[in-house]
Chain A
Amino acid sequence: MHVMQPGDHLFRRESGRMVAALTRIFGVHNLALAEDVVQDAFCRALEIWRIRGMPENPSAWLMATAKNGALDVLRRERTARSFAPELSRFLQSEWTLAPVVEELFAADAIKDDLLRMMFSCCQPRLSEQAQVALALHILCGFSVDEIASAFVTTHAATEKRLARAKKALVGSKRLFDVTMPADFSARLPAVHRALYLLFNEGYHGASAETAVRVELCREAMRLNALLLGHPLGTTPTTYALAALMCLDAARLAARVDASGNLISLLDQDRSQWDQELIAEGLKFLELSATGSELTQYHLEAAIASIHACARRTEDTDWKAIVSLYDRLMTIRPSPIVALNRAIAIAQSEGPQRGLEEMCSIADRDRLAAYPFYSAALGELELRRGRHEAAGEHFRAALALARNPMERRFLNRRVNACERGDTQKVHDEQFWDRGLFSTETKLEAQDRNRASLPL
């Protein structure tokens, strides 16, 4: 007997599409109702499919079920409830109801619905973290627990954050109108930022679970592809973000070894890098080079491209990387960018120079809670042959480690110092661009504090 298997995360994906389509029809004030209809569709699917197996086109089946669910609700509650204001006159009459709903469930319409929802989630009233959580929940179908585990917070905290965010979304009365160019362009940076944060959380978040992190990266790329599918979303900055994601994602598989240990950028088996993604990233990078805008994403993508194009670690053009960091410091200065710049300088001019740069970072007290600041100090001391000082820094870093992967990594460094390894060490995962994610995290925290009342 042949039993079909659903594709990867089919349900999650369909959940986002169904909620987006239903919210468009019901109106954003009926978000909960839309979610109920989706739950019912899944419930029914499970009841039938568990025994009979999956239909040939499960997505279409789910969509049809959601559509019928919508029609039921619209007929039953026509008089009791108000639905999407701009559609209400079509939904009132039995003559137009079915054809209009049919049209709204067409594939192209749903793509627009996803975009509409994505822009609606990224509203300025919400903190950036809340925007990301909301998008993950509604558009990507992540449960409270899945989000909590991705962001290493508790179920209760995530639930609270989502409830507040949903309330704000529902309170916004209308979904974002993606047909107005001026509004679209004004909101686009917030959407970019949320996608960037989502990707970074996956690429270098605190969650120890690699699988979760890869999924976050994948979702960010999928949502960014939605932007690229819309004429107003296809901007040089969206291309830059796409480039950055591809070039980083190309290295995902090589970042962790078989036993789950982090491997530094310098030590990775570069033959494991995904050449297809690199080629795609370089293509996006080229497309991003139009217009006059130079964003953080452009610069980070350019840095990633230098790594991606170096066949061996020794071939890395550190001078070019330093100058990109210099420019990054002018448009988005932060202690973490400065730290990365110092590391690049150490790579091209030696550990002594790197340490000097590190010690002159403004605001470096903001790095105090970040394990890889101490770890970087330790690494450079180790390279200068000062094992004792290096060991102290690594022990300080170890005390700040956020997950078992980091702990194992730093333990190895402490041991190396105690053994007095003099050989040149290339074992530093913090050499990776991943440092950036904390930049964004530090800032997100600051900003959250500012916008807490919500």
Chain B
Amino acid sequence: MSEFTYLYRGGRDTPQSPEQRQKQLQKWAAWFKELGTSGHLKELGHPLESAGMVVKGNQKIVTDGPYAEAKDLVGGFSLIEAKDLAHAVELSKGCPVLEVGGSVEVRPVMQINM
């Protein structure tokens, strides 16, 4: 088993009715539950605020950021365990963020033998 992070992007700017949001939430809960029961969920992870600061370069210039479009903003991440990248990708296809125009970025956590 290897570790992967799922980075959730976008999917928050679509206007939704209360009922649709509630259904979204229920889908997330069901998806995590399934990942949990099948032993693929290592950590729920955390949501991220969309506003923050970016510190850049030698001069340590501080700006408001990130400047990404809403659809490109990372809204949160989780830690997953899967056989390999293909498997992790397969598992990510159930993520409800995909239904509202968002995306999941699947990134292997580097395996390092020290």
A residues contacting B by CB (< 8 A) are 1, 3-6, 9-12, 14-15, 39, 42-43, 45-54, 141-146
CA distance A145 to B20 in the complex (A): 11
The answer to whether B25 touches A141 (Cβ under 8 A) is: no
**Of A4, A6, A14, A51, which one neighbours B76 at CB under 8 angstroms?**
A51
**Of B19, B25, B32, which one neighbours A46 at CB under 8 angstroms?**
B25
User: Known pairs A12-B22, A50-B28, A51-B44. 13 more at Cβ < 8 A?
Assistant: A1-B36, A1-B44, A47-B12, A49-B28, A50-B96, A51-B47, A52-B44, A53-B32, A54-B25, A143-B17, A144-B17, A145-B17, A146-B19
How far is the CB of A284 from the nearest CB of chain B, in Å? 30
B41 at the interface (CB under 8 A from A): yes
How far is the CB of B5 from the nearest CB of chain A, in Å? 13
B15 at the interface (CB under 8 A from A): yes
Binary A-proximity of B27-60 (CB < 8 A = 1, otherwise 0): 0110011001000010011110000000000000
Total number of A-B contacts with CB less than 8 angstroms? 81
How far is the CB of B10 from the nearest CB of chain A, in Å? 12
The answer to whether A52 touches B22 (Cβ under 8 A) is: no
Chain B residues near A12 (CB, 8 Å)? 18-19, 22
B75 at the interface (CB under 8 A from A): yes
Chain B residues near A14 (CB, 8 Å)? 18
CA distance A12 to B18 in the complex (A): 5
The answer to whether B24 touches A53 (Cβ under 8 A) is: no
How far is the CB of B33 from the nearest CB of chain A, in Å? 6
Interface of A, helix, strand, loop or mixed by DSSP: helix
How far is the CB of B99 from the nearest CB of chain A, in Å? 12
The answer to whether B17 touches A141 (Cβ under 8 A) is: yes
Known: A50-B28, A51-B28. A43 touches B12 (CB 8 A): yes
The answer to whether A5 touches B18 (Cβ under 8 A) is: no
How far is the CB of B21 from the nearest CB of chain A, in Å? 5
B63 at the interface (CB under 8 A from A): no
The answer to whether B12 touches A46 (Cβ under 8 A) is: yes
| Cβ-closest chain A residue relative to B6 | A51
Chain A residues near B20 (CB, 8 Å)? 143
**Of B12, B18, B46, which one neighbours A51 at CB under 8 angstroms?**
B46
CA distance A6 to B24 in the complex (A): 11
Chain A residues near B21 (CB, 8 Å)? 11, 42, 45-46
Q: Which of B21, B26, B96 is packed against the most chain A CB atoms within 10 Å?
A: B21
Chain B residues near A146 (CB, 8 Å)? 17, 19
The answer to whether B18 touches A6 (Cβ under 8 A) is: no
CA distance A4 to B21 in the complex (A): 15
Chain B residues near A4 (CB, 8 Å)? 29
